[in-house]
Copies of this chain bind each other. A is one copy, B any other.
Amino acid sequence: MPLKVRRNRSPQPPPSCPLTECMGIIGGAWTVNVIWSLRAGPRRFSELRVDIPPVSPKVLTARLRELEARGVLRREVKPTSPPSVEYSLTALGGELVPAIEAIVEVGHRLKGSPDAPVANA
């Protein structure tokens, strides 16, 4: 009797496709919103929460840590009282802004969610 192939395969190394890989970082919830908020200058944690109301602190922290680790933004603790933390785009992060602008631009012309109620339907 032939043995079945077991399906508990260990996760394979990512295919290192730059497109797939880059979408892995851009694609997280609220990631682009964070970059968008920072494009006009540095923001603190609580300011970002105001800019993007539905984001939870947990996710915002996660996104900021990821973006910092990838060199998109930098994190600076200011010796104020209470100490505040300022996030700002790096040069690399700045390069993402036009790309996101392009997406927003097209986004305006996309048809809405397919199952969303349409005017006059």
On A, residues with C-beta under 8 Å from B are: 14-27, 32-33, 36, 54, 66, 69-72, 92, 95-96, 98-100, 102-114, 116
Contact = CB atoms under 8 A, between A and B. Distances in A.
A92 B112 CA distance: 14
Nearest to A100: B19
Given A15-B54, A27-B27, A54-B15, A22 B106 contact: yes
A66 B113 CA distance: 9
B22 A111 contact: no
A6 B66 CA distance: 33
Contact of A66 (B24, B95, B105, B114): B114
A94 to B, nearest CB: 10
